[in-house]
Homo-oligomer: A and B are copies of this chain.
Amino acid sequence: MARSVSDSDSVRRHNRGLLLGALRANGPQSRTALAGLTGLSHASVTAIMQDLLAQNLVEELVEPRSDDARGRGRPATLVGFARQAAYVALFEIDVNKARLSLIDYAGVLVDRTESEISPSTFRETPPHQFLGQKLDHMIARNAKAKGALRRVAISIQGILDRDGSGLQWSPLTGLAGMPFASDLAESSGLPVTLHKRGRLLAEGTRWLDPDLQDASVATVFVGSTVAMGLSLHGQIMGRGDDGATEFGHMNHTPGGALCRCGMRGCIEAYAADYGVLRAAYSVPETAAPAPAVPAQQYESLIQRAEAGDRNFTHAFNLAGRAIGYGLSRMLAMFDPSHILIVGPGARALNLMRPEIEAALSSSLVCKINGMPSITGHMDEKEPVFRGLMMKTLSDVDQTDFAALPAIPTQKRAAG
């Protein structure tokens, strides 16, 4: 049964979720504003808000509003998330470092630690132990969060197994095959969720610009890997339940360049930093990919291409061609209204754009519907972090807190 029965319980859950979602997306609001935002009546907003206040999920803000913003009537009292209502721990695991952030329910960064990662890290310390130690340390340092920590979310690269407990494959050594999410869940007693970085890009982008909130967006990360997050009408889409794509490992050329994943001809093998590097220095396509490309080296590739050096412009042309045909193939299946390029590769968008557009213009859908708009966004880290944070806090809102039972109303005090 895909749909389940609707009753007054599901109504309450839905409308509480609506209210929490409106606060999450728009920040602290007055009850009247929330009524307008959600479509609920003022009476219902009041009733629901009384429960949320009683459950200490939200609190009334006493803000000395600037004098000129004051109107005539009774001033509105803004309601916002109660910071201490919940905490979430967010791991961002990258090829060379891992970062753990403790976030409160209002989305404020409470504490953060960062550690170096090397290919040997997870061979020496099993991943669930490594993460468990960081988490314990973080909890020990923040007594407040101890009882209120609700979720652990991990951003990771690779292919998740179907139940989301671990990775089937990862560019990071020592992670594949370890069910570290479920291990960590067991040792910490908390729900632990695993998120592909590409998917978080899509999620993070949605929160950047309100226009993108309900739009269909394909967000392509170009950097040390190539990844894509996809949202359709505000719904995250993709492979598996968690919604993530393997755009970077979509085949571009059969039997083509060697990819870090071991296959041949993946888009990533042409468009990720190591692919461009390899092509720029005329290293054979079948040579093993460089393990990591420092940021400044990638930057110098861009600069030499911008200076007009043929080998370098050629390398970016190949990258653009791979991305362009990948997008054209994706567009045969979906029709996003926005295509965003993020990550270090966004710096090179202008170098790649001619080949991207050439590839797109050879497809029927672009001939019919016209060229989609492709824009670059320069910041890499924040979309992922923001996506991880907003996704996790939204999960707390909708899964944990929207489902809380109502406070029984005592029909006028018994005399």
Contacts and interface: CB of A to CB of B under 8 A. Distances in A.
Interface of A: 1-8, 10-11, 14-15, 17-18, 21, 37-40, 159, 168-169, 213-214, 228, 230, 232-234, 237-240, 245-247, 249-251, 254-255, 259, 261-266, 325, 328-335, 359, 362-365, 367-369
A364 B263 contact: yes
A264 B329 CA distance: 13
Contact of A234 (B2, B261, B335): B2
B334 A239 contact: yes
Contact of A263 (B3, B168, B334, B362): B362
13 contacts: A4-B39, A5-B18, A7-B11, A8-B11, A159-B369, A168-B369, A169-B364, A245-B333, A246-B365, A247-B332, A250-B332, A250-B363, A262-B364
A2 B214 contact: yes
Main SS of the interface on chain A? mixed
A164 to B, nearest CB: 13
Complex copy number for this chain: 2
A333 B250 contact: yes
A388 to B, nearest CB: 21
A1 B247 contact: no
A238 B216 CA distance: 12
B365 A249 contact: yes
A329 B251 contact: yes
B333 A363 contact: no
A38 B159 CA distance: 36
Nearest to A37: B1
Contacts of A237: 232, 237, 334
Contacts of A21: 3
Contacts of A334: 237-239, 245, 333
Given A230-B333, A245-B333, A251-B328, 7 more contacts: A5-B39, A6-B15, A6-B18, A250-B328, A254-B359, A330-B333, A333-B334
A330 to B, nearest CB: 6
Contacts of A213: 2
A96 B230 CA distance: 38
Contacts of A363: 249-251, 263
A223 to B, nearest CB: 18
Contact of A11 (B11, B159, B368): B11
Contacts of A335: 239-240
A332 B37 contact: no
A406 to B, nearest CB: 14
A272 to B, nearest CB: 14
